[in-house]
Structure 1
Amino acid sequence: MLYDLDKASHSVYSLHYHFVQCVKYRRKVLDNQNIVDFLKMKIRQISDTFEVDIVNIECDKDHFHLLFTTKPTLNLPKYINTIKTITSREIRKNYPGIKTMLWKDTFWSRSYFIATTGQVTLDVLKQYVDNQGKHATDEEDQNTSN
């Protein structure tokens, strides 16, 4: 199984995430390309400060998807909360008309979706791990027969 791996002084890793954030009450406020471009720019700036590599960002009218890779040292909740806080504040500040479409002063929903993604499917990985036990048993059998 071949992976595209990253390395640090004491670790080798491959961490990929899929993050989805919805606008509060699924309000369709991301239908303006200027707002979408601004949101993407802000997420990229925040990600740079957290040493997060963005694979892709795409928006629908009421949510965005962010694919990213990172180091094992990332404080994931802090990163996500920083994205939510800064983008909410900056979008409302730079696009004041958007406030009429929102509920009170809240931009993002409190909840979000995040999943780890991999370079192989979970089924392939499970099969690989299952086979590790078989290889160890095969090696033990060979050692006892010698």
Structure 2
Amino acid sequence: MKYNLQTGSHTVYALQYHFVTVTKYRATVLTNDICERIGEIANDLSEDFGVSIQSVNGGQDHVHVLFTAKPTTDMTKFINSFKGVSSRKIRKEYPEVKQVLEDSFWQPGYFLATTGQVSVDVLMEYVEEQ
């Protein structure tokens, strides 16, 4: 089994996450330029939270973010900061969006899942063979 490992002072880890958030009312306001800007915002925030953004992409009404994190990363703070900062900046920098989504840019909820570098079946087999 091979992992892309990261290390801390007393830890070795491989933590990858898939995060999805949706625009308020599923408004179709995300253009390629806005998605690109959201990626820049995510990268700007990543240093403050000890995460590394791997990919940002999406559709007209949602964004996917694939990132790695440290075991000490506070996911709730990172996600809330991402949503808050990106909402403010996008509505300020793209006035056409503010006409559609005046008060809120994102839905309150989101999707977050851990991802693996190997499948659950491979892990199960590995554990059973130990």
Distance in 2 (CA, whole Å) between partners of 1:105 and 1:5 is 41
Q: TM-score, normalised by structure 2?
A: 0.94
Q: 1:92 Cα shift?
A: 0.8
Q: Percent identity?
A: 47
CA distance in 2, matches of 1:112, 1:131: 37
Cα deviation for residue 25 of structure 1 reads 1.4
- What secondary structure does 2:21 align onto? strand
Instruction: Kindly report which structure 2 residues correspond to 1:59-74, keeping only aligned pairs within 5 A, or say none.
Output: 59-74=58-73
- Unpaired segments ≥5 residues, structure 1: 133-146
How big is the shift at 1:29?
0.7
Give yes or no for contact 2:35–2:63 (8 Å, CA) kept in 1. Answer: no
Q: SS of the counterpart of 1:34? A: helix
Higher Cα Rg, which structure: 1
Deviation for aligned residue 1:48: 2.1
| 2: CA distance, partners of 1:89 / 1:79 | 15
Aligned 1:1-146 pairs, distance under 5 A? 1-31=1-31, 33-102=32-101, 104-132=102-130
Which has the higher mean CA deviation after the structures are superposed, 75-84 or 48-57? 48-57
> In structure 2, what is the Cα distance between the partners aligned to 1:6 and 1:89?
33
Which segments of 5 or more consecutive residues in structure 2 lack a partner in the other structure?
A: none
Measure, in 2, the Cα distance between the counterparts of 1:36 and 1:124.
35
TM superposition outliers: structure 1 runs of 4+ over 2 Å: none
Task: Map Cα deviations across residues 87-107 of structure 1 (whole Å, 9 max, x no partner).
Answer: 0011111112212222x5111
What count of residue pairs does the alignment treat as equivalent? 130
* Structure with the higher helix share, 1 or 2: 1
Contact 2:21 2:63 in 1 (8 A): yes
| 3-state DSSP of counterpart to 2:46 | helix
DSSP 3-state at the match of 2:28: coil
